[in-house]
Structures are given as C-alpha cells and as structure tokens.
Amino acid sequence: MTLLERDPKSPLTWSGNLPVTSRYTFGLAGEKFFRAIKDEGKIIGSYCKKCDHTYVPASQFCEKCLAEVSDWVDVGTIGELHTFTVLYEGYDGARLVQPEIVAFISLGDGGLIHRLGEINLDEIYFGMPLEAVFLPEGQRQGSILDIRYFKPAG
C-alpha cells in the first residue's frame, strides 16, 4: 500500500521488523561477582568501609554514601534463609509435577534469590543455614544459574 492508497482515518502504522541488537553487560561489580561464581565457585560481595556494609550481589557504588566501593570480600557459600515461597505452577502457567521452593538467602548485608534443593518443605525454618550447590566447573557459564540451588548446610 502506498501513502496515497491509505485510508486517512486509519491509524498510522505499518508492520515490519527492525534489525536491532543489544548487548548488556554486568557492569564492573557484576563482572567480578559472576566471574567469582564461574571461575572459583565463590560468592563475593563488595564492602564499603565507611558504612561497614557488604553488598551481595556486589555493587560498584555504596547505596548509603554513594562512594565507589573497591573492596571485595568472599562471603562464603553458606547463608541464612530469610524468606521463601512455594511455586506450584511454572512460568507458563502449567502445574509443576514437583513444587519448587524459591527463597531469599541472606549473605553479607544482602543476599540472593534462588531455588532450594535437597530439602523437604516441612524441614524449612527461617534462619536455617543454606549452602550453595554449584554446577561442575566445566559447566558454569557466568550466570546465577551456575549455582544449581541452595541446600541445607551441614
């Protein structure tokens, strides 16, 4: 259809595809954070001396004093259960065969949201120690999913 053939009362739209590509980075702190998971099987945070605050996941700037944070600390692979929920449906809305437990695990002064594994629902309590279970070294890709899940520690 040309412009002259167009119905002047119809909305001004046309269909098509735009060849747009984007590349997103983790940023400096995110890069260090995910490299530590991938290459070393470690969870690191960034530490602001002035505020005595450890950011997990690592952050390049302190949210309290806005200073650049350049101290990196290994916060270990064991955190504490802060809160959790149970998923009975997948992202597609289909009922899951096995319900999934997703939790916020406190690490440093922050924490991570992740799946729990090797645990029964009736075992869970707030404050329970949870340990990160990593994929084998050769299978990690620099993603939060390099941690398969958190399981009861000990």
- Of 68 and 123, CB closest to Zn ion: 68
Task: Write the interaction track for Zn ion spanning residues 88-127; mark x where CB under 5 A is met and - where it is not.
Answer: ----------------------------------------
- Which residue bears the tokens 């002064």? 109
Q: How far apart are CA 117 and CA 143, in angstroms?
A: 18
Interaction between residue 63 and Zn ion (CB under 5 A): no
The residue assigned the tokens 């090797």 is 118
Cβ atoms of 150 and 105 within 8 Å: the answer is yes
Is position 64 an interface residue for Zn ion (rule: CB under 5 A)? yes
Sign of CA dihedral 56, 70, 35, 154: negative
Kindly indicate which of the ranges 20-28, 57-65, 82-90, 108-116 contains the residues binding Zn ion, using the contact rule CB under 5 A. Answer: 57-65
Count CA atoms within 13 Å of residue 86 on its CB side: 11
Separation of alpha carbons 82 and 104, rounded Å: 6
Q: How far is the CB of 52 from Zn ion (least distance, A)?
A: 8
Answer for which of 6, 65, 71, 89 binds Zn ion (CB under 5 A) is 65
122: left (phi over 0), alpha (psi -120 to 50) or beta: alpha
Which residue lies nearer to Zn ion by CB, 44 or 116? 44
Q: Is residue 49 close enough to count as binding Zn ion by CB under 5 A? A: no
Given candidates 36, 58, 62, 132, which one binds Zn ion under the rule CB under 5 A?
62
Choosing from 27, 50, 86, 137, the residue that interacts with Zn ion (CB under 5 A) is 50
Collapsed DSSP state (helix, strand, coil) of residue 125: coil
Which residues of the chain form contacts with Zn ion (CB under 5 A)?
Answer: 48, 50-51, 62, 64-65
